Amino acid sequence: MPEVLIVLTVAWGVMSFGAVYPWAYWPLLGAAAGVGAWCLLTTRPERRMTALSVAFAIIACVIVMQLVPLPVRLLSLVSPVTGKLLREYALGYLYAPSAHALSMAPGQTALGLSCFVALAMFCAGAASRFDANHAAKVARAITILGIIVAVLGVVQKTSGTSLIYGFWKPFHHPYQIFGPFVNKNHYGGWMIMALSLTIGSIVSSVSAAAPQKRDWRGRMLWLSSPDASYVVLGLVGVPVMVTALLMTLSRSAMISFAIAASVACMCVLSRARRRTTAITLAGAYAAIAAVLVSGWSSLQAVTERLEVGSGLSLASRVWAWKDAMRILHDFPIFGTGLNTFDVAMAFYQSQPGAYWNAAHNDYVQLLAEGGLALGLAVALALLIVLRISLRRLIEEAVSDSPAFWLRLGAILGLVAIGIQECFDFSLQLPGNAVLSALLVAMAVYGPDRAEDLRAARQRN
């Protein structure tokens, strides 16, 4: 039952326009927190992710510190520039300056804190709940969801409509929509995560079945199994998902996925028992997929998109990054407050004729909003995730467990979105953030117990 709710939570996030509107993100956050709490309360203590939970708690504490009202004199000592800007931004602070939080906009920071706490509970709960069997089921459901989202994107793009689902017109830049998303880059961010997980899930299913289909009879029996049906669905669905990704013409998403897919291919070939057979089959499938993708999408448009205008777009982003660094210089310890970049840029915007309400680089924006305190806390959490996931991955590689491939797919999805975040802000959408939290859970969930391994073998 929790696995169903996990998938439904992710589905709501992507189908509700990426959960960018209050009517969408409040139910999403409530569902994420509720599912996470249920998983944590019903999981045996030894499977709870203590180190990860502690890292999440440290991040939450730093954000709470940004919300604590401080006397004006203390505020001027801790963050001298805050008072100066508040006198221009907050009318109440100008005429009745008694106390104020470090955050320039405490309401927006409180919203950011709510998002983080809900997603952290979702991630920790899912990681505690997962074993090889549960993770595989959720990954397969995400594959089906990814195919549906891909079809929606292809239909919307080919129809030429500027309406989401045929009826909703976004207020800002309706020409940027793609599928259920207001912005094609954000769609690309969701799709690269779903694609990476799907590829890992397909290889994991094939790897799990390999020992049982050594002869022709075994192969035929396997082809009639639910696992084989999923593999066929995935192999058909991947070209559709890749086509949708290419049709977005999102440079950051295409490049990020290309890197993740290249690493996945190298891992498959390096670990294949019969390398010649693996190369032949992988090459044949890649050729067929390439023909399908080239027929469904315009590769010339993709090439032109990668070549034309990229320098100008990057130059504009660099301008925004420089402004963000100026914010960090003036707010080095605690930043301007989580989720307040748009407020701060009202004072630091320097590019003529432009206004950046996001830095288009979440690492730079995180430092501007959270300073070194939040930056170090997030870095600690990332190091813990990296340490746990790599340790689990090595253990599964040594034991030759099929779960290796599913965990690798989740890790590559995180790597891909991490690369895209250098040039975009897809993870600021709650609908994308909840999928990334799920990938973190799949990357770090605990090692399989003996009974889990037996159940996985029986299922395959």
Mean pLDDT calculated for residue range 118-131: 93
* pLDDT single digits (tens) 324-368: 999 999 999 999 999 999 999 988 888 877 778 888 899 999 999
Per residue in 405-437, pLDDT tens? 899 999 999 999 999 999 889 999 999 999 999
Give the pLDDT mean for 424-453.
84
- pLDDT band (50, 70, 90) for residue 190: very high
Residue 301 in this model has a pLDDT that exceeds 60? no
Residue 399 has pLDDT above 90, yes or no: no
Mean pLDDT along residues 124-129: 92
Q: Which residue has the higher pLDDT, 29 or 280?
A: 29
Using one digit for the tens of pLDDT, what is the confidence trace for 134-181? 999 999 999 999 999 999 999 998 888 888 888 888 876 666 889 899
Mean per-residue pLDDT, 296-315:
54
The mean-pLDDT minimum among 119-133, 261-275, 388-402 falls in 261-275
Does this model's pTM top 0.85? yes
Q: Residue 160 has what pLDDT?
A: 82
Q: Output the pLDDT for position 296.
A: 52
291 confidence band (pLDDT: 50, 70, 90): low
pLDDT at 454 exceeding the cut of 50: no
- What secondary structure, in 3-state letters, does the chain show? CHHHHHHHHHHHHHHCCCCCCHHHHHHHHHHHHHHHHHHHHCCCHHHCCHHHHHHHHHHHHHHHHHHCCEEHHHHHHHCHHHHHHHHHHCHHHHHCCCEECCCCCHHHHHHHHHHHHHHHHHHHHHHHHCCHHHHHHHHHHHHHHHHHHHHHHHHHHHHCCCCECCCECCCCCHHHCECCECCHHHHHHHHHHHHHHHHHHHHHHHHHHHHHCCCHHHHHHHHCCHHHHHHHHHHHHHHHHHHHHHHHCCHHHHHHHHHHHHHHHHHHHHHCCCHHHHHHHHHHHHHHHHHHHHHHCCHHHHHHHHHCCHHHHHHHHHHHHHHHHHHHHHCCCCCCCCCCHHHHHHHHCCCCCCCCCCCCCHHHHHHHHHHHHHHHHHHHHHHHHHHHHHHHHHHHHHHCCCHHHHHHHHHHHHHHHHHHCCCCCHHHCHHHHHHHHHHHHHHHCCCCCHHHHHHHHHHC
Residue 451 has what pLDDT? 42
The string of pLDDT tens digits covering residues 271-286 is 665 555 445 555 555 5
**Between 409 and 289, residue with greater pLDDT:** 409
Q: What pLDDT, on the 0 to 100 scale, is given for residue 355?
A: 76
Q: Percent of the chain beyond pLDDT 70?
A: 81
